[in-house]
Copies of this chain bind each other. A is one copy, B any other.
Amino acid sequence: MNSPKRAASKEPRPVKSAAITADLPTATALKLWVVLARSHDALVEVLKADIERHDLTLAEFAVMEALYHKGPQLLGEIQKRILVSSGGMTFLVDRLAKRGLAERRACPSDRRARYAALTKKGEKLMRSIFPEHAAVIQGAMMGLKQSEQRELTALLKTLGKEAARLAAETPACKAALAEQE
């Protein structure tokens, strides 16, 4: 076996760890994190399999989807939206351009900036791919009723907002603060 894919094992889990069961609120949060990570991974696997049929990586697809739904955008805008590094952004657009799916366009008012946009070919591809892909997503969510999906969305939104706030505080701030001696 090479890739892990789904484990068929029954999760024996006979031992309960002292460290985890130590204190209830912590245990609840840890459990939530594990379950969230696992369902996310399972979904990613399903979606990735769908997208790879068209020889696209998830990141490439994310770029194309952003362009498809929001139109031409600055590289930096897409970068923030799909959360890749600046180097990765350049790389992704390069690759899509090489395949004739996207292209760069100059920004008339700011010569530093470049727009990325879908080519005709890229748009045609998205028009044929996207509905299928949406159907796959819908299929992957079928474990939950629509009302449950909406409830889940609301909860995740709250969770995500708080986590994002926290993440924005943390990153290079320590270094920055440290340098202010």
Q: A residues engaging B (CB < 8 A)?
A: 1-9, 15, 17, 19-20, 24-26, 28-33, 35-43, 45-47, 49, 68-71, 76, 79-87, 130-131, 134-135, 137-144, 146, 148-153, 155-164, 166-168, 170-171
Contact = CB atoms under 8 A, between A and B. Distances in A.
A80 B8 CA distance: 9
Nearest to A167: B45
Contact of A155 (B137, B151, B166): B151
Nearest to A41: B83
B156 A5 contact: no
A47 to B, nearest CB: 8
A39 B152 contact: no
Nearest to A68: B19
Please provide the 8 A-B residue pairs with the shortest distance between their CB atoms, ordered closest to farther.
Answer: A143-B162, A39-B160, A7-B80, A42-B163, A6-B168, A42-B164, A29-B138, A29-B141
Contact of A29 (B8, B29, B149): B149
A34 B167 CA distance: 18
A145 to B, nearest CB: 10
A37 B32 CA distance: 15
A7 B84 CA distance: 11
A24 B4 CA distance: 34
B39 A168 contact: no
Given A81-B7, A139-B166, A160 B38 contact: yes
A155 B158 contact: no
Contact of A134 (B26, B146, B150, B158): B26
Given A37-B40, A46-B167, A28 B162 contact: no
